[in-house]
Structures are given as C-alpha cells and as structure tokens.
C-alpha cells in the first residue's frame, strides 16, 4: 500500500455541505468538530476523483476496481480534505 498526498485549490466559491439542515439554514457547511474549520468530506473527494477518471476516458473496469461498485468497495481509500492555508 502506498500513500499519496495532494493539494486542492478552489478557483471559485466552494460549499462543502454537511448534508444536514436545521430548517433555518439551507445547507450547513461541513466543519471539523474541534477547530470549526470547514473541510471536504472524503466521500465527496472520492466521487470527484471517480468522475474525473470516467470523464478522462479511463476504462470502466479500472474505475470500478479503484473506486468500487454499488455492491463492493474499491481499493482506493480517501480521507477528508482539510485546510492547509487560509
């Protein structure tokens, strides 16, 4: 197993939603419990990577092996994207 770290740069506005709403606010921003800083959930990062591979013409069998299918997990593990610089 190997680890890869990469950076993301938002060139436009980004709203990493938490998927929850209390009614007063449409979509809450996903925030770290301790610091309160926003983060991007790993599931969102993984979905974006999968979509980029599909859009780039990668073979479906390779995409499914890396990211999984409905009935099984893939070989790629993605953790949350956290702030490095403000």
- Mean pLDDT, rounded, for 7-13: 87
Q: Give the predicted TM-score (pTM) of the model.
A: 0.76
Measured CA to CA in angstroms, residue 86 lies from 8, 28, 37, 60 at distances of 13, 20, 10, 37
Q: Where is pLDDT greater, at 44 or 85?
A: 44
* Residue 29 DSSP label: B
Domain residue limits, the chain: 41-82
CA distance 69 to 81: 23
Interval 31-79: pLDDT, tens: 899 999 999 999 889 988 999 989 988 888 888 988 888 888 888 899 9
């Amino acid at each position: 197993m190997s680890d890869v770290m990469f950076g993301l740069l938002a060139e436009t506005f980004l709203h990493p939603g938490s998927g929850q709403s209390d009614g007063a606010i449409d979509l809450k921003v996903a925030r770290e419990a301790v610091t309160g800083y926003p983060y991007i959930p790993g599931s969102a990062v993984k979905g974006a990577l999968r979509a980029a591979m599909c859009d780039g013409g990668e073979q479906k069998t390779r995409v499914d092996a890396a990211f999984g299918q409905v009935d099984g997990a893939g070989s790629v593990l993605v953790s949350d994207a956290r702030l490095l610089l403000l």
